[in-house]
């Protein structure tokens, strides 16, 4: 057998080992934060394609820390806000800093249009706590900022975005199994794009929780749905009306699911309510 044939055979064996390790030797967990379902859907699709036995949990799930401890590889998915990480997720990473040592992490960043280094900014935070970032993926998804006109698209266009994201996920998983994972959002050029594209001008908006959530008491019927949905326990009922506090993480979950469209944050009225169930 020639030297070339030997190397070709060894390369095939190595690639097979890279593929097998994600199903035979590695415990994988998907971890996400999601307001309207985009990032949850992305995490579920990616992990299902990578390892059908993997568990996918929200950072709000009381079992998530236990699952992270038992897993070797983590697939993170989250929505970028002004090319940075939502405060609730940043706090979760920091408050559980001991969890990330020696974890291999693949990061999925979902966005309405642009993030620059969406996967990279979360990756740098995790790396600071000892994680190894093995890849990144950026997915354009239906816009979830329900009270602004920008980035609103027809229903068919949003459904096509989801189909494109699904195809991109499958290709990314294939490359990861082959040992050449996608690295979107990672590296200095992506970092400059995120910094100068948005973060330099708007990054301060996510450094603290927001006190800007507004609830129209004339529209509110006191159903309590927003109280149950809020990941920050930032909304309460008082005299039959929903009342916001000052700990909003800007996930837009309540705004997109309020049956009376009584809640706003950045804009003055609800333009469109967007949840993943509309598009899949």
Which residue range(s) make up the domain with 227? 214-266
| Same domain, residue pair 75 and 159 | yes
* 8 A C-beta contact, residue 184 and residue 205: no
Residue 274 CA: distances (Å) to CA of 59, 91, 141, 258: 21, 26, 11, 11
Point out the domain boundary residue: 175, 206, 237: 206
* Distance of alpha carbon 73 from alpha carbon 27, whole angstroms: 6
| pLDDT band (50, 70, 90) for residue 11 | very low
Contact criterion met (CB below 8 Å) for 274 and 142: yes
Residue 112 shares a structural domain with residue 241: no
Number of independent structural domains in the chain: 2
CA pair distance 263, 280, nearest whole angstrom: 25
CATH number (domain holding residue 256): 3.30.70.20
Which pLDDT does position 202 carry in this prediction? 81
Q: pTM score, two decimals?
A: 0.89
Predicted confidence band at 22 (pLDDT cuts at 50, 70, 90)?
Answer: low
Same domain, 164 and 229: no
Domain co-membership, 249 together with 182? no
Choose one of 206, 232, 258: the last residue of a domain. 206
Reported as a pLDDT band with limits 50, 70 and 90, residue 25 is: low
Percent of the chain with pLDDT over 90: 82
pLDDT tens for 80-100 read: 998 899 999 999 999 999 999
Looking at the structure, tell me whether residues 148 and 187 fall in a common domain.
Answer: yes
Cα torsion through 145, 146, 149, 154, rounded to 10: 100
Q: What confidence tens digit (pLDDT) does each residue in 249-259 have? A: 999 999 999 99
> How much is the pLDDT for 181?
97
Point out the domain boundary residue: 157, 185, 206.
Answer: 206
């Amino acid at each position: 057998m020639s030297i070339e044939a030997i190397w070709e055979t060894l390369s095939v064996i190595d690639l097979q080992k890279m593929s097998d390790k994600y199903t035979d030797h590695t415990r994988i967990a998907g971890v996400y934060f999601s307001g309207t379902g985009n990032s949850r859907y992305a995490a579920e699709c990616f992990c299902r394609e990578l390892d059908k036995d993997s568990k996918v949990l929200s950072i709000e799930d009381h079992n998530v820390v236990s699952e992270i401890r038992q897993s070797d590889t983590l697939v993170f998915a989250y929505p970028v806000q002004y090319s940075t990480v939502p405060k609730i997720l940043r706090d979760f990473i920091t408050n559980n800093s001991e969890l990330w040592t020696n974890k291999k992490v693949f990061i999925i960043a979902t966005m309405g249009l642009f993030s620059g280094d969406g996967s990279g900014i979360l990756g740098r935070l995790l790396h600071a706590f000892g994680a190894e970032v093995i890849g990144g993926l950026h997915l354009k998804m239906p816009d979830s900022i329900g009270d602004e006109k920008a980035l609103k698209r027809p229903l068919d266009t949003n459904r096509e975005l989801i189909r494109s994201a699904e195809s991109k996920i499958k290709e990314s998983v294939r490359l990861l199994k082959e040992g050449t994972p996608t690295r979107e959002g990672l590296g200095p050029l992506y970092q400059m794009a995120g910094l100068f594209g948005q973060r330099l001008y708007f990054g301060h908006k996510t450094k603290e929780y927001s006190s800007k959530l507004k609830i129209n008491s004339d529209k509110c019927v006191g159903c309590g749905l927003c109280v149950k949905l809020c990941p920050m326990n930032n909304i309460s009922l008082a005299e039959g009306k929903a009342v916001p506090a000052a700990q909003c993480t800007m996930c837009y979950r309540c705004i997109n699911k309020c049956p009376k469209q009584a809640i706003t944050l950045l804009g003055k009225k609800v333009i469109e309510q967007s949840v993943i169930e509309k598009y899949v």
